[in-house]
Amino acid sequence: MKATREPSGPRTFQVTERGDGQRLDNFLLRELKGVPKGLIYRLVRQGAVRVDGRRAKAHKRLAVGNEVRVPDLDRPEAASSEIPPKVLDRLRRAIIHEDDDVLVLDKPSGLAVHGGSGLAFGIIEAMRQLRPDIELELGHRLDRETSGCLLLAKRRSALQEFHAALREGRVEKRYLALLVGQFAGGQTIECDAPVASGRQEDGRRRMRAGETDSDGPRAREARSVFVPLEAHGAFQLAEVKIGTGRTHQIRVHGQSIGHPVGGDHDYGLPDANRSLRRHGLKRLFLHAQALAYQSADGERHIFSAPLPDELTAVLASLDAGGEDDA
């Protein structure tokens, strides 16, 4: 196999009979010996590898005469997005379920689900590095500071089935949240205010509950059910069930009902957050405890993740009393 090097550094391979019918990923692994497997798969996913000038999936079958163009692998930026080993190890230990179709993580707080907007990488990029021979895709999303059950699909058919379950209401998501203030009478509170994005006075974009102005973005239907579990000082631990998954939905609905989520610096109460910091809270107190869905064949899948130790410690500190709570 003969490769030509263009002046800017990329290489172009001409597919011969040896590569006829071979998958693109296997072709590249054979021709680019010494190049990390994870880097090769990442470049393919990012569209940096072209077949006859077009983006191609890793599973694309090549034919005699195809031209495969690979970017300059000698450039420092080619490996600049390598994931720190400690992050990979953390995610490896966070896997709570894996089969032929899906992989479920107990997502750590503080890690975004995907890179972009100034982030070099996210969980999906890191997991693709851990599973370089699988085309992992996010089944849904969690906020960066939210922990808990996060489903990744290992094959396209599994992703489509999960998304169909979402559309048809066959997915159940349950969260644990520490809310400011106790519920009057210990009653369950339901909030079905639509959620839309809008600009704040500081120019930053935030989500908000309620109808939007005629010139604003369309509000999307959303429903959250807040079920009180335990009182902890001036705060309420609640289970939150959502039938939709709008951006910041629980946080916005918590603000809307007058019980914002503890540790929320966008939609919460500063005084309450300061009080919780004195009890050791260093993050948003929101955890995706359980995820369940029914597949098209009627089989029910249930996954759960326990409340993280750093959050149970906050509850214990609140129960022990001490400084005045919010």
CATH number assigned to the domain comprising residue 317 = 3.30.2350.10
- Site of tokens 């994870």: 38
- pLDDT over 70 (residue 116): no
pLDDT at 7 over 60: no
- Do 38 and 103 have their domain in common? no
Q: Quick one: 309 and 199 in the same domain?
A: yes
Q: Report yes or no: 78 and 70 within 8 Å, Cβ to Cβ.
A: no
Residues 224 and 239 in one domain: yes
- Rounded Cα distance between 159 and 139, Å, is 6
Q: How confident is the model at residue 114 (pLDDT cuts 50, 70, 90)?
A: confident
Same domain, yes or no, for 208 and 62?
Answer: no
Among 37, 55, 79, which residue terminates a domain? 79
Q: For position 279, what pLDDT does the model report?
A: 97
Same-domain status, 17 and 100: no
Q: Could you tell me the pTM of the whole model? A: 0.76
Mean pLDDT (whole number) for 238-253: 92
Both 126 and 188 in one domain: the answer is no
Claim to verify: residue 194 and residue 145 sit in the same structural domain: no
Q: Which of 25, 106, 143, 264 is catalytic?
A: 143
pLDDT at 250 over 90: yes
Model confidence over 43-73: pLDDT tens digits?
A: 888 888 999 988 899 889 999 999 999 987 7
Residue 309 confidence (pLDDT) above 50: yes
The pLDDT value recorded for residue 217 is 62
Domain extent at residue 322: 172-326
Query: Chain-wide mean pLDDT for the chain?
Result: 87
Distance CA 69, CA 89 (A): 33
The contacts of residue 54 (CB under 8 Å, 6+ apart) are none
Number of domains in the chain: 3
Please give the residue that has the higher pLDDT: either 119 or 95. 95
**Domain co-membership, 177 together with 325:** yes
Query: For the residues 3-16, what does the mean pLDDT come to?
Result: 68
Q: Is the dihedral of CA 182, 184, 189, 193 positive or negative?
A: negative
Q: What is the CATH number of the domain that holds 28?
A: 3.10.290.10
Angstrom CA distances, 220 to 180, 181, 217, 246, stand at 25, 27, 9, 8
Higher pLDDT, 115 or 216: 115
User: CA dist 74 to 7, 11, 71, Å?
Assistant: 13, 11, 9
Mark whether 271 is an active-site residue: no
Residue range 181-198: average pLDDT? 91
DSSP 9-67: S-EEEE--GGGTT-BHHHHHHHHSTTS-HHHHHHHHHTT-SEETTEE--TTPBP-TT-E
Shared domain check, 326 and 183:
yes
**Quick check: 215 pLDDT over 80?**
no
Last residue in a domain, options 79, 98, 114: 79
- Calpha distance 236→276 (Å, rounded): 12
Lowest mean pLDDT among 50-59, 68-77, 159-168, 226-235: 68-77
Between strands 147-153 and 286-294, the pairing is parallel
d(CA 29, CA 36): 9
Task: Identify the band that residue 8 occupies on the pLDDT scale cut at 50, 70 and 90.
Answer: very low
Q: Where among 147, 168, 189 does a domain terminate? A: 168
Query: How far apart are alpha carbons 31 and 171 in whole angstroms?
Result: 43
* Whether residues 156 and 181 fall in one domain: no
CA gap 79, 102 in Å, rounded: 28
With a cut of 60, say whether residue 264 has pLDDT above it: yes
* Residue 23 to residue 4: CA distance in whole angstroms: 21
Of the two residues 116 and 58, the one the predictor is more confident about is 58
Residues 16 and 160 occupy one common structural domain: no
Among residues 24, 83, 64, 20, the alpha carbon closest in space to that of 48 is found at 24
Q: Does one domain contain both 74 and 186?
A: no
Q: E strand or H helix at 278, and its extent?
A: helix 270-278
Distance between CA atoms of residues 65 and 116, nearest Å: 36
pLDDT at position 304 over 80 = yes
Phi then psi dihedrals of residue 56, to 5 deg: -145, 145
Q: What is the mean pLDDT of residues 106-129?
A: 85
pLDDT at 53: 86
